[in-house]
Amino acid sequence: MKAFLWCWTLLGLFPLVAFAALHLFSILHARAVLPNEASQGKLDGNYITISRTTIKFDGFRDPLILHSYVLPAVLCLVGATTVIVGLLYLIPTQPIRTTKAGYAKLTTLVPKVLKSKKRFASLIISARDGNKCVAVSRKNDEISIGITIDATDIDELNSVREYFARNALDPASDYETHDEQFDVTMVHLEYVVGSS
């Protein structure tokens, strides 16, 4: 989603930035080409008449004058830069999603959760069948491990409980939820394992 917002914004800003940059380039080029006139006082600062022509529309004849005002181009470029810088702070950081070889990345992802400055940071590892899930989270200063297992998988559920019991850890929460659509009951365990 973040990549889409960036691409969409940059695509929208591209014509504005391109025209502003070309306008600025043409002004600088005109000033370089016409140095003598400016030094003789024929040209007044940022106000340069590049060309003059006459157009006829419904019987009225008016001069068409092209001026080299630098301010509009500069304001367009400053505005576009402000929008891009604002995107860095306004678009929230998107979750890191790993669909394969996730276990190989655990050594880099877990430290990110523990060192994150966000108020709530988490890492969720889910089995492909959706019947098992482990979450490592840091909320405020507490680091906890959440485990979700299918209630019918009694052996694995008992193994998890015994493992944490051997390490003198009691579950901070232990409850079941039932999904009527899939007729599945899940057991949710959460253990507080430390503080940061």
**How sure is the predictor about 24, in pLDDT bands with cuts at 50, 70 and 90?**
confident
* pLDDT beyond 90 at 176: yes
**How sure is the predictor about 39, in pLDDT bands with cuts at 50, 70 and 90?**
very low
Across 41-45, 91-95, 146-150, the highest mean pLDDT is recorded for 146-150
The pTM score is: 0.54
Q: Which residue has the higher pLDDT, 154 or 127?
A: 154
Average pLDDT over residues 150-177: 92
* pLDDT beyond 70 at 78: yes
CB 2 within 8 A of CB 96: no
Q: Which residue has the higher pLDDT, 161 or 120?
A: 161
Q: Distances in Å between the alpha carbon of 91 and those of 2, 3, 108, 161?
A: 7, 10, 24, 40
Q: Which of 24-33, 60-69, 147-156, 181-190 has the lowest mean pLDDT?
A: 60-69
Please count the CA atoms within 13 angstroms of the CA of 121 that sit on its side-chain side. 19
Average pLDDT over residues 83-99: 77
Helix axes 2-33, 71-90, angle to 10 degrees: 160
